[in-house]
Amino acid sequence: MNRLGLPLVTISDNPIPDAVIGYVSVQGAESVFGGKAKRLQKTARAYHAKKADRDSVRHNLEKSGFIILAESALGLSVSAPGGAYEEITGGRLESKEILLNVDADYVMYITHVDIIGDKQPRTLGVGSVKSKNLKADGVVVERPRFFHAVFPSPISPTSPKFHLRVPSDVGIALNAVAAHQLGHRGDGVLVAMPDSGEYRHPFFSANGFQLKTTITVVPGTNRSKDPVGHGTGESANIFAVAPGAVLQAIRTSNSAGKLVGAIAGFLQAKDLNPQPRIITNSWGGDQPFPPSGPPDESELALAAEIQDGIEQGILVIFSAGNGQFSIEPQVPGVLAAGGVFLDSMGSLRASDYASGYQSPWFDGVNVPTVSGLVGMRPRAQYLMLPVQPNCEIDQDESEPDPPVDSTSDGTFSNDGWALFSGTSAAAPQLAGVSALILGAKPNLSPAQVIEALTKTATDVTAGSCHPRFNNPATAGFDIATGAGLVNATAAVQFALDNF
Amino acid sequence: MLDDYLELILRWSAQGENLEAKSWLEKNGLSTSRMKNGLLITGSRSQIETVFSVSLENRELPFLLPIPVELQSSVASITLPKPRSYHL
């Protein structure tokens, strides 16, 4: 057993691959197989095989179905179906799961192939040779190995631009710390997030945050990569508020990082088992505003899916948009996340980066419902978030963007950190606050969670939302910020006191 | 420019869900997921252009695809919706 209380080795359900890569050692004066002394000779020349023996072994291996990948004076690197290994060893190939430190403190079961049998060595992946005529003294099945890549720091870099850090500053600014101290951390609340992907940034493991293995939607995409950095960075906002929440990331981007499977990702999120309590979405479409008519049927089809999720008891959150106008945050019952900017003096104002409008399609719906922390135009470089090093966001934000912004975010283009926000950040912040509420009161409906958020939000009375809509923040509920900036501890207390 | 992987939204005709139509799409290499009021069809652009006998080059979105003969009795519409983007 290891420190996680898990067995180091278990039997695997994974089949033996069609092609198993391995190494066959040709007999020389000395052998590393079968000898008593487990040490290297003073020179590798002791292991060199005669050319005639190497030729003989190569010939016999090819007859048994092996493909020779490379050859040295000591042996041959080979590829063959499992049956070929069994033929020359007399053993049997078996899959095993071995618990390994994969990277950046992530411990995972990794499938290995072992050669087992009465006359086989106990060492994992090592086989003896059955035939005395084959001048080989041992067989090794290649073990999975990992790149010793340089991982980004789990601690964010500094930047001359005013910004907030995760998890600390965002948790403080949304008044989540007092809730944490009272034991409300969103423990075990499952949050699904269809987005660009989830890179295994050390920020998450160093803070002990829980992420399930990412699900991919687009065939052929890597579950460990996030070529844009959007999903990775924005998901940090959830944990800044709810450190005990569990994230199920769903990668909906293609290999280039473009969002091509958003609808499929949303459907998969709804269909998860166990079902998530929250689906947070930092994406959407864009339509003319004001619209020339009702939404088309493809938009309504997605709206019906969203509505169905809410009716199943899932809290569905959509970002209001950064000047965009789209159907997702307008669907009745959705928690639409807008933007409020907290400046260096502690003052609040509506973010002019965030959309704010009354729905022309659904009576009584305001976008946003309530707001999270979002930066200001032109670039909303406001939250220092972890991303995949050298990804699109890491590069873009580290460059000036003349003529609107002559400075960069002050980070390197490959350091795995970038300053950005947008209502993409507000949605997972609201997901975090909602997870705190659901952790404290698990049986609440989406409508009750929204009531707790809106009844306790801090009113914002300064500034205006995005100029496309140009609505001012005013005393009380307003179009620009909805109910204002969420107040995590107050929202949890409201839920405990009133439901 | 359209991407390699596309999502289409199918709306059933008044008779409702038709498993034969779903099966026909899957036999032609497309993936399907049941939606509240229809079907989400996903696949590569080339697969979709082949199955629906249509070029998707330079189409204004949303775009209504022609319905293949095999689906005409059960399907009201198949739409390539407007793209979605990150709210970065």
- pLDDT for residue A15: 86
Confidence of residue A254 (pLDDT cuts 50, 70, 90): very high
Q: Contact, A295 vs B79, CB < 8 A? A: no
**Among the partner residues B7, B36, B81, nearest to A261 by beta-carbon distance:** B7
Segment holding A438, helix H or strand E: helix A423-440
Write down the domain spans for chain A: 9-141, 164-498
Rounded Cα gap, residues A245 and A179, in angstroms: 14
C-beta atoms of B36 and A196 within 8 A: no
End-to-end CA distance of chain A: 44
Cβ within 8 Å, pair B81-A420: no
Matching residue, tokens 């909805």:
A482
Contact present, A333 and A317 (Cβ < 8 Å):
no
Give me the long-range contacts of A78-87 (CB less than 8 A, separation at least 24).
A78/A21, A78/A22, A78/A23, A78/A24, A79/A19, A79/A20, A79/A21, A79/A22, A80/A19, A80/A20, A80/A22, A81/A18, A81/A19, A81/A20, A82/A16, A82/A17, A82/A20, A82/A113, A85/A20, A85/A22, A85/A115, A85/A127, A85/A139, A85/A141
Beta bridge partners of A472: A464
Q: How many CB pairs under 8 A join A and B?
A: 103
The percent of residues in chain A predicted with pLDDT above 90, rounded, is 84
> What 3-state class would DSSP assign to A474?
coil
A249 CB neighbours in chain B (<8 A) are none
Q: What is the pLDDT of residue A97?
A: 87
Assign A106 a pLDDT band (cuts: 50, 70, 90): low
Report pTM.
Answer: 0.79
The C-alpha of A464 sits at a distance from chain B's nearest C-alpha, in angstroms, of 19
Mean of pLDDT over chain B = 94
The confidence band for A2, taking pLDDT boundaries of 50, 70 and 90, is low
- Name the closest residue on chain B to residue A283, using Cα atoms: B86
Taking only Cα atoms into account, the Rg of chain B, rounded to an integer number of angstroms, comes to: 13
For B88, the closest of A299, A307, A424 (CB atoms) is A424
Mean pLDDT of A68-77: 93
- Residue A103: predicted pLDDT: 59
Q: Look at the block and give the residue holding tokens 């004076």.
A: A73
Q: Does B1 touch chain A (CB under 8 A)?
A: no
The burial of A13, by beta-carbon neighbours within 10 Å (0-12 exposed, 13-18 middle, 19 or more buried), is given as: exposed
- pLDDT tens figures, A385-442: 999 999 999 999 999 999 999 999 999 999 999 999 999 999 999 999 999 999 999 9
Tell which residue, A30, A2, A23, has the closest CA to residue A115: A23
Q: DSSP characters for A359-398?
A: -SSSTT-EE-SEEEE---TTT---EEEE--TTSHHHHHHT
* Angle formed at CA A279 by CA A484 and CA A281, multiple of 5 degrees: 65
Q: Where are the beta strands (DSSP E) in A233-365?
A: 246-251, 278-281, 283-284, 315-319, 335-342, 348-350, 357-358
Does A422 contact B5 at a Cβ distance shorter than 8 Å? no
Amino acid A88: pLDDT = 94
Cβ of A263 and B9 within 8 Å?
A: yes
User: What CATH architecture applies to the domain A164-498?
Assistant: 3-Layer(aba) Sandwich (3.40)
**What is the predicted ipTM?**
0.94
- Does an H or E element contain A423, and which? helix A423-440
Residues of chain B with C-beta less than 8 angstroms from the C-beta of A262? 7, 84
- Give burial (CB, 10 Å; 0-12/13-18/19+) of A397: buried
Residue A295 is predicted with a pLDDT of 95
| B29–A contact, CB cutoff 8 A | no
Compute the mean pLDDT over every residue in chain A, rounded to the nearest whole number: 94
Pairwise CB contact (< 8 Å): A297 & B11: yes
A23 beta partners = A77, A140
The answer to whether the Cβ–Cβ distance between A301 and B36 falls below 8 Å is yes
Q: Is A71's pLDDT higher than 80?
A: yes
Distance (Å) from the alpha carbon of A321 to chain B's nearest alpha carbon: 6
The pairing of beta strand B5-12 with beta strand A9-11: unpaired
Kind plus residue range of the DSSP H or E element containing B38? strand B38-44
| Higher pLDDT among residues B49 and A133, named by residue | B49
